[in-house]
Amino acid sequence: MTLDPLEFVPWETELHGHRVIYRMAGSGPPVVLIHGMVNSSRHWEQVALRLADEHTVIAPDLIGHGDSAVVRGDYSLGAHASSIRDLLAALDVERATIVGHSLGGGIAMQFFYQFPQRTERLALVSSGGLGREVSPLLRGAALPGAGAGVWAAAHPRLLAALWALGERAQRGGRGIGVYLQAVARALRPLQRPGARRAFLKTLRSVIDARGQHVSARDRLYLLTGFPTLIVWGERDNTIPLAHGRAAHEAIPESRFVTLPKAAHFPHLEDPEGLADALREFVASTEPGRIDDADWGDVIAARPPRPTERSRPAT
């Protein structure tokens, strides 16, 4: 299938009896863009169109997000990764470069862990799952009984006021303006009741009152030698830039790029910078390949610690 590189076209399919919306553009080696919480595929448009001249870009609406179905079911990272695997199988895409933003970064890492044979490269953008620290706003939303507060925070008048306040702060040269607009942008999709339910279920699957409780740090060694890019907005106040630096240090041969113009949403705040980083990364690396038969060797590549050494069961 050859798609117009100037249009990020929405498509609809059905998986397991539920509607799934995804957007595609361009032609060439496939690149999958996974959005974060309360985002959707449409938020990738400016990045996708910049990649579409050389790649087939595929961006799904995660279940419970965007225009995909809101279901009563599993909203864990593994469930989202499996849904993306199923979508790619339905599209006859065997292997792809996997890119994930925020929650989508955690899903991208889980996708690699569950389906390494389907992953050619991994790119993490302001990714979750790399440390406990996260913004107080998200920790608060994860508390029991926070649903009413989420509903109130997503009120259109409040979001309009928050956006205007952010604009005034930016005109006055105050950096908090970018953060205020990022908050307003993140909350806007929650005006749909179904989206609020899906948001809370997804949020609580990875975050509690103390911060992120799901971590990929113990498995980053699996990416040793695998083409991996880490991109972070230098103004990010949602997930610390330090998480990206630590992950880069933990993954030998990984690449680390920071974007001075961006906060937590580089695909919206600096799409050109992010697209350039992704394009250069893909162009300058060979696709990784891990077959099922190789996975045991990948896991065994890290010598166990003394307390971890395998011993016969008794």
Catalytic residue check, 297:
no
Is the Cα dihedral 140, 146, 147, 148 positive or negative?
Answer: negative
The secondary structure of the chain in percent helix, strand, coil, rounded to multiples of 5, reads 45, 15, 35
Strands laid side by side in the 228-233 sheet? 9-15, 18-25, 56-60, 30-34, 96-101, 119-125, 228-233, 255-259
Q: 236, 243, 248, 270: which is the annotated catalytic residue?
A: 236
CA distance 234 to 133: 16
CB atoms within 10 A of CB 107: 31
Catalytic residue check, 236:
yes
Q: Count H helices, E strands: the chain?
A: 12, 10
Q: 35, 43, 243, 264: which is the annotated catalytic residue?
A: 264
Catalytic residue check, 102:
yes
CA distance 183 to 129: 20
Q: Identify whether the C-beta of residue 264 lies closer than 8 Å to the C-beta of residue 238.
A: yes
Q: 41, 102, 135, 254: which is the annotated catalytic residue?
A: 102
Strand ranges (E), 142-275 = 207-208, 211-212, 228-233, 255-259
CA distance 3 to 122: 24
Catalytically active residues, by annotation: 102, 236, 264
